[in-house]
Amino acid sequence: MDDERGRAVRELAWEAVRHLRWLADAGMREIPTPAVAPGAHPPARAPSAPPAGDAAPGYRTSDRGCGSEPLLAIRAELGECARCPLGAGRTKLVFGTGNPTARLMFVGEGPGADEDREGEPFVGKAGQLLTRMIEAMGLARGDVYIANVVKCRPPGNRNPEPAEIEACEPFLRRQIEAVGPEVIVALGKFAAQTLLRTTTPITRLRGQWARYGGVKLMPTFHPAYLLRSPEEKRKAWEDLQLVMKELGPAGTR
């Protein structure tokens, strides 16, 4: 038992070191104040609505990304989607995950191999980095909502094609409406260019506030790009600091 406890303590310590390294790489010199004070309980959230019954056969609000009736209805309409060729090659459709009434929403490009296997966005190495980015903002992954432009993995992790984006984007748009975030962070070129209807490079879009409908939107680099180019972490942190300033000290509802 002592050996197991020791391993658990060492793993927690190593995870703390990894988190602090991210903060240092991003140029941060102070630890952000958590949205919930240590020892306090997070604000109570309204319980999820019960399953929609005949309106959403086979899906429940407890499913990943379906924590509200509006999100559940979108997932039910999406179904086992075959609206574009990506559906034929997927293992699992990756709908979304997180707080169904989040103030902050992250939108990425599409699932990779790990996401395709798990059925949840951002769970691979890039997802681990995104989680550390969220924690560096003083939030927990469960405080935000995360989705992708396309819900199925492109073969070989290639870029999604225009027809694939066109087939999937209406469901992303409805997810955004259902969650009702105050701020969207668009992760990488495809998310930013899709939501903003532009071909401007992400290097010029990042760090500049834009709007998606009535929602403020901050484009920044994709975590996968930051893994390949760690020297750009400082710029991404600057973008996230702007988001933190916009949301205020408590980024949760």
Residues 41 and 219: their CA atoms lie apart, in Å, by 32
Residues 119 and 146: their CA atoms lie apart, in Å, by 12
pLDDT of residue 131: 98
Q: How confident is the model at residue 162 (pLDDT cuts 50, 70, 90)?
A: very high
Neighbours of 157 (CB within 10 A): 13
Q: What is the mean pLDDT of residues 58-68?
A: 95
User: Does residue 14 fall inside a structural domain?
Assistant: no
Structural domain span for residue 130: 46-247
User: Does residue 235 fall inside a structural domain?
Assistant: yes
pLDDT of residue 58: 87
Four-residue CA torsion sign, 52, 56, 57, 61: negative
74 or 11: whose pLDDT is higher? 74
User: Does residue 15 fall inside a structural domain?
Assistant: no
Q: How confident is the model at residue 252 (pLDDT cuts 50, 70, 90)?
A: low
The number of folded domains in the chain is 1
CATH number of the domain bearing residue 62? 3.40.470.10
C-beta of residue 242 within 8 angstroms of C-beta of residue 207: yes
Which tokens hold the place of 57? 């056969």
User: Does residue 114 fall inside a structural domain?
Assistant: yes
Global confidence as pTM: 0.80
Q: What is the mean pLDDT of residues 9-37?
A: 54
User: Does residue 210 fall inside a structural domain?
Assistant: yes
Q: What is the mean pLDDT of residues 205-213?
A: 97
User: Does residue 203 fall inside a structural domain?
Assistant: yes
**Average pLDDT across the chain, whole number:** 86
Note the pLDDT tens digit of each residue in 65-117: 999 999 999 999 999 999 999 999 999 999 999 999 999 999 999 999 999 99
Percent residues over pLDDT 90 in the chain: 74
Beta strands 145-148 and 104-108, pairing class: parallel
User: Does residue 16 fall inside a structural domain?
Assistant: no
pLDDT of residue 45: 41
CB contact set of 143 (below 8 Å; sequence gap of 6+):
35, 98, 99, 102, 104, 134, 251, 252
- Does residue 121 have a pLDDT over 60? yes
pLDDT of residue 24: 60
Note the pLDDT tens digit of each residue in 169-192: 999 999 999 999 999 999 999 999
User: Does residue 124 fall inside a structural domain?
Assistant: yes
- In 3D space, the residue among 51, 55, 91, 80 whose CA is nearest the CA of residue 68 turns out to be 51
Residues 250 and 35: their CA atoms lie apart, in Å, by 5
Q: What is the mean pLDDT of residues 24-33?
A: 56
